[in-house]
A and B are shown apart, each in its own frame.
Chain A
């Protein structure tokens, strides 16, 4: 049981380049999330998904896109990288049990630098 797997762990991009951050979970969780964490700041929600085919914007979605074609995968796309997107990106998934309680699992993060 690998949990939430993110790739790559590190990446350096040039301004204007594009890339996809990969996220896969093997826990059959319906809910998945992308957060970014800047130094000294809390995690900010970029996008989330409540199930395959359904995505919605979070607090800081500008400059990013997502898709959710399967339950397991939730890739995050950066189309035109900007220095402001230098951050650590965390993917998470969660379940919702019969008692309406949630449990969240986070990946180990992708450290992205845009130069």
Chain B
């Protein structure tokens, strides 16, 4: 069974204090790993897709990396507007590969 575990469940940072969020996964062949941002009362907003180990993608203060077992979302010098829940999801390459399996998310709070 495909599984995604995110840690920590919650993270509080001071503005400018860099950190990383972790997403570990077990999947029967990885087709893609997705990162989403979710603000309260809203739907997930797409950030990145990673397809193979060693791949990295960046967007403003965010950088996502991928290994064969986990992905990291690095946040550099965060601002209060980066506060949100960050969701990780995997898409398997076998058996209904259109579907995403989500982790529970990491709730990030950035204090000014």
Contacts and interface: CB of A to CB of B under 8 A. Distances in A.
A100 B96 CA distance: 14
Interface stretch (B55-63, B67-75, B76-84, B99-107): B99-107
Interface residues of B, number: 26
A106 B98 contact: no
Interface in B32-54: 32, 34, 36, 41-46, 49, 51
Interface stretch (A12-20, A39-47, A72-80): A39-47
Interface in A33-55: 33, 35, 40-45, 48, 50
Nearest to B4: A42
Q: How large is the interface on A (under 10, 10 to 19, 20 to 34, 35 or more residues)?
A: 20 to 34
Contacts of B87: 42-43
Given A31-B98, A56-B96, A104 B103 contact: no
Interface in B1-52: 4, 9, 31-32, 34, 36, 41-46, 49, 51
A105 B46 contact: yes
Contact of A109 (B43, B45, B51, B103): B43
A104 B34 contact: yes
